[in-house]
Structure 1
Amino acid sequence: MNPEEIKRYFESNPPPKEVQLTPWVNITDTQVFLKSCYSTVRNFTGPVDRCPAFWHLRDLYILIKKTAQKAAVEKIKETPFEEIPDETSSQAQRAD
């Protein structure tokens, strides 16, 4: 995962305005946070994997992806199972 891929992800899936990244890090404006990280990564002269701003950007990306996956799973669990009416009646007829 590189900074450009993360940037494209957040452009198509904007994060909520406020996010608690860790118990001790609360981001109050994710758009300002993202702009700051993108700028710092762009101006970093060393390898990108050694840039602290990239670490923070990656951590936010991972958190948002996990949260989205967890929400999708919970939504599936909350959705009641509906049987197809024709299928149940045809199965009952076959049993007779």
Structure 2
Amino acid sequence: MNHEEIKRYFETNPPPLEVELTPWAKITNTQVFLKSCYTTIRNFNGPVDRCPAWWHLRDFYILMKKTAQQAAVEKIEETPFEEIPNQASSEPETAA
């Protein structure tokens, strides 16, 4: 995945305004962070894999994807099962 693909991902899935990238690195404005990474990568002379901004962008992307997957799993786990209408109950009915 290259930085243009990551850029398209964040255009369709904007991250929250503030993100804790690591315990010692908190991003207070993700849009400014992303713009800075894109500009630095574009202006970097040399292989992109040597650009520090590329590694920051990649780490941020991985964190956001992982967070989105965890949120989806938690949502599924929190969703209660509902009875399907018109399905017979497993409990025997008693006559009154």
- Name the TM-score, length of structure 1 as normaliser: 0.89
2-side partners of 1:67 and 1:59: how far apart?
12
* Number of equivalenced pairs: 91
Computed over aligned residues only, the root mean square deviation of the Cα atoms, in angstroms, reads: 1.5
Amino acid paired to 2:88:
S
Q: Distance in 1 between the 2:12 and 2:69 partners?
A: 16
The letter of the residue matching 1:59 is D
Same amino acid, percent of matched pairs: 78
Alignment of 1:1-96 (within 5 A): 1-86=1-86, 88-89=87-88
TM-score, length of structure 2 as denominator length = 0.89
Q: Which amino acid aligns with 1:71?
A: A
Q: Which runs of 5+ in 2 are unaligned?
A: 92-96
- Structure 1, gaps ≥5 residues long: none
Deviations 1:5-38 (A, max 9, x none): 0000000011111000001100000011001000
User: 2:47 and 2:9 mapped to 1: Cα distance?
Assistant: 22
Partner of 2:94: none
Q: Secondary structure at the match of 1:89?
A: coil
Higher percent of residues as helix:
1
Following TM superposition, by how much is the alpha carbon of 1:90 offset from its aligned partner in structure 2, in angstroms?
Answer: 8.5
Displacement of 1:47 after TM fit? 1.0
